[in-house]
């Protein structure tokens, strides 16, 4: 994925639209249906909560980094080796939030992600050393992984979980 501002905004929006189209095309009774299998995310709500939670993490990393901090990535008390535990904690945090509420929150956090991307130059988004807090990864990579790439993952997860076949 190209990490320029235009490519990120376009790619994130395209993947987000495809995700919303998939969800919007599901019959209402399927929206609350439990997924087949024993995966961490057990329904559409869990997948949407996961996306929103990662937007929140990215916002925190950026905010901490902008004031010269070194944010705990992926989160305080977690390492990438403990990612499964973090994701389970994030899933549990949103269990009392309805899918319609989460979709509204996700729309808002997607817009926030896109606004963050728009505030940066191509050089800032593409440069691996633009920000110390990204520890050698381009900021644009964070924006893509928490945005468009994550939305594509969500479509695949929903499609597989609901056994929709090739609809992703």
- Residue pLDDT, tens place only, 122-132: 999 999 999 99
* Region 11-28 average pLDDT: 98
Measured CA distances, 140 to 42, 155, 158, 163 (Å) = 30, 21, 26, 33
- Residue pLDDT, tens place only, 115-124: 999 999 999 9
- HSE value, Cβ hemisphere, 13 Å, CA-based, for 165: 1
Q: Give 167's pLDDT tier (boundaries 50, 70, 90).
A: low
- Residue pLDDT, tens place only, 51-79: 999 999 999 999 999 999 999 999 999 99
The predicted structure's pLDDT at residue 37 = 82
Of 66, 83, 56, 55, residue with least CA distance to 134: 66
């Amino acid at each position: 994925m190209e990490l320029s501002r235009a490519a990120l905004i376009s790619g994130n929006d395209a993947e987000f639209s495809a995700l919303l189209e998939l969800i919007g095309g599901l019959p209402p009774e399927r929206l609350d249906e439990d997924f087949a299998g024993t995966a961490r995310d057990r329904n559409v709500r869990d997948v949407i909560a996961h996306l929103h939670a990662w937007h929140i993490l990215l916002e925190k990393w950026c905010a901490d980094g902008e004031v010269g901090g070194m944010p705990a990535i992926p989160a305080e008390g977690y390492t990438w080796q403990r990612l499964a535990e973090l994701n389970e904690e994030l899933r549990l945090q949103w269990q009392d939030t309805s899918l319609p509420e989460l979709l509204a929150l996700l729309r808002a956090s997607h817009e926030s992600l896109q606004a963050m991307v728009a505030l940066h130059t191509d050089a800032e988004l593409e440069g691996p050393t633009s920000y110390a807090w990204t520890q050698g990864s381009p900021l644009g990579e964070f924006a893509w992984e928490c945005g468009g790439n994550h939305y594509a993952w969500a479509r695949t997860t929903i499609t597989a979980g609901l056994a929709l076949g090739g609809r992703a």
